[in-house]
Structure 1
Amino acid sequence: MTPTPRKVLLFVLEGQRYALPSMDVRELVRAVSLTPLPRAPDVVEGLLNLRGQLLPVLDLRRRFRLPARPLSPADHFIIARAGPREVGLRVDRAEGLLPLEPGALDEAPTTLPGVGYVAGAVKLPEGLVLVHDLKTFLSEAEALALDTALTAVPEAT
């Protein structure tokens, strides 16, 4: 069972706010150009060389069915843990950490279709914010395809 987060990192995509449990987040970095990763699943936007560590960057726009747009220097990468691996997530803007009051997170109902990677929702005065569970973000087939694509990449120096 996943522990209830005490803080979440708020971020924005296409004007909509989303959140990740802070315990999954390692750091925030400014967006830089990515290296294409041949044979990676569609949800992988490319590879980021972060101080010698090669990280796949996941395309949240594609996953959330939002319109594609080119990478901008104003974008942020959230470096986070998605199950057993670290990944980058390109977002329009990271807003910062939000401490959660006890009971502020409503866990996602497991009976609704299409909420597989949603851990719950936080009710804010400005509206509802979905909290995403990166452990379930990649399907098993996508994780295997990503592993295969990454094995063909030489180690960063």
Structure 2
Amino acid sequence: MNQKKNNANLSHRSRYLIFHLEDEVFAVDIMSVREIIAMMKTTPIPKTPRYIKGVMNLRGNIIPVIDLRLKFQMPEKEPEMDTAIIILQVGEADIGFIVDHVEEVATIGDEQLSDAPAFGTTVNTDFIHKIARYDDRVIMILDVDKAFNLDELRDLENLAKTS
């Protein structure tokens, strides 16, 4: 009986990859992360949105690369030593996301999560899955599938299929 009571008090815990853009702290579910690589050269694709930096050849696979700073309407920044590319599965494609730096993989329990705030109809925050309280910080947990509309996802998947 006591065992059942203790199990009922245990929260679900998930692992997230924490990374930074400017002074903001974000995270993604570790299950969508394929790998993390150092910044590398990309081949620009004409007539694509500014936030699409191009494609890269990663061990024979063509990976579209997104600058998350530009996607989130932050100022562009030259890559530095800590700049990384996180390869995530988005929809049916692997996509690279340029971030300022990767911090750690953290285990976060349900009790540390809150729903993302609603800002009304003029501000789209659908891509923020949850807000986490972790180490006295607020971390925005992203739903990268919702960071792109259906047309953008289709275009990114088509770029990835050009290999």
TM-score w.r.t. the length of structure 2 is 0.80
Runs of 4 or more, structure 1, over 4 Å off, are 109-112, 147-151
1:35 alignment partner, SS class: coil
Cα distance in 2 between the residues matched to 1:55 and 1:149: 8
Output the aligned Cα RMSD: 2.2
Are 1:5 and 1:21, in contact at CA under 8 Å, matched by a contact in 2? no
Deviation of residue 78 (structure 1)?
A: 0.5
For 2:108, the equivalent position in structure 1 comes to 100
Are 1:121 and 2:143 an aligned pair? no
For 1:25, the equivalent position in structure 2 comes to 33
For 2:8, the equivalent position in structure 1 comes to none
- Partner AA of 2:102 in structure 1: A
Inter-CA distance 93–121: structure 2 relative to 1 (3 Å threshold): same
1:100 alignment partner, SS class: strand
Inter-CA distance 96–85: structure 2 relative to 1 (3 Å threshold): same
Cα distance in 2 between the residues matched to 1:5 and 1:149: 35
Report percent identity of matched pairs.
Answer: 25
Cα distance in 2 between the residues matched to 1:49 and 1:72: 21
2:55 alignment partner, SS class: strand
Inter-CA distance 86–110: structure 2 relative to 1 (3 Å threshold): farther
Unaligned runs of 5+ in 1: none
Are 2:108 and 2:134, in contact at CA under 8 Å, matched by a contact in 1? no
- Partner AA of 1:134 in structure 2: V
Inter-CA distance 17–111: structure 2 relative to 1 (3 Å threshold): closer
Unaligned runs of 5+ in 2: 1-11
Deviates more, 1:30-39 or 1:71-80: 71-80
Are 1:15 and 2:23 an aligned pair? yes
TM-score w.r.t. the length of structure 1 is 0.83
1:141 alignment partner, SS class: helix
Equivalent of residue 52 in structure 1, options 53, 60, 65: 60
Cα distance in 2 between the residues matched to 1:148 and 1:86: 11
**Deviations 1:53-105, CA, capped at 9 Å, x for gaps:** 11001121112111102233431110111122110000111011000123222
Cα distance in 2 between the residues matched to 1:5 and 1:85: 27
Cα distance in 2 between the residues matched to 1:39 and 1:55: 17
Cα distance in 2 between the residues matched to 1:46 and 1:29: 16
Are 2:16 and 2:30, in contact at CA under 8 Å, matched by a contact in 1? yes
From the CA coordinates, give the structure whose radius of gyration is larger: 2
1:61 alignment partner, SS class: helix
